[in-house]
Amino acid sequence: MKKISTIILATLFALGGFAKEPIEKDPWKTKFMTEKVYQETSDLNHWFVGASVGGQVYFGDHDKQLSFGKRITPQFEIYAGKWLNERFGLRLGLNGINYKGLTQTSMYGTGEIFHAGQNLEYQKFNFINVHADFMFNWTNDALGYDPGRLYNLIPYVGIGFGAVLSDPGSLKFSPNLGILQTFRLTDALDLTLDIRGNLYGDEFDGEVGGRNFEGAASTSVGVKYTLNR
């Protein structure tokens, strides 16, 4: 009996020591607690809406002959989304206004000549882009979920369609890739910096240049509101 009692006491002491072990030393426990904290918050906390404004540049067939600064145009974006868990989320957005460049066919031309010898005319056309993005919160993945974190780095990839609204118009499939950064302002409000690149099929700007793709790049600043945080 004495030996059995000794074994039982030794086992209890060992279990007690294991229970007091800091959770951060065990990655499985850390992952469990992170997910528990996330899941115990209200589901509504993980819905969000946002809006931003910024600048963008289009890269068409003849646009490189026009200086970069003269091709910058304003843009807007509105979006809504939901975090599926502490790492992954989905977002549906709409952005647009117009792109500027050059044309040799007068498609979307402004009537202002850029270079008569090269038959180049200034170009400007209105557009919108509707996109769905798959988002990955790298900060939560690397450091664990923290609803009070001041900064988050969120890469994303997406698919969508770009539509030229100027006559005669165009509709092209448009995948995108970007990085969203958020900076906490209040419990519900974040400042955002969004950098994105889009691809469009050739002829989105109305000209056939023989390339498979044309593209655009944008940077925007805005706010993101998390519902009932």
CB 215 within 8 A of CB 198: yes
The Cβ of residue 74 has, within 10 Å, a number of other Cβ atoms equal to 11
If you average pLDDT over every residue of the chain, what do you get? 85
CB 73 within 8 A of CB 55: yes
Per-residue pLDDT at 133 exceeds 70: yes
* Residue with tokens 């072990």, as numbered in its chain: 21
What pLDDT is attached to residue 136? 98
**pLDDT (mean) for 174-182:** 97
* Whole-angstrom distance, CA of residue 130 vs CA of residue 91: 11
Per-residue pLDDT at 92 exceeds 50: yes
What pLDDT is attached to residue 148? 87
* Residue with tokens 């557009």, as numbered in its chain: 127
pLDDT range class, residue 84, cuts 50, 70, 90: very high
DSSP-derived 3-state class of residue 144: coil
* Residue with tokens 């040799």, as numbered in its chain: 104
Q: In the beta sheet, which residues pair with residue 184?
A: 190
**pLDDT (mean) for 62-71:** 90
What pTM value is reported for the model? 0.80
Tens-digit pLDDT profile for residues 38-56: 666 665 668 999 999 999 9
Per-residue pLDDT at 7 exceeds 70: no
* Residue with tokens 């050739």, as numbered in its chain: 202
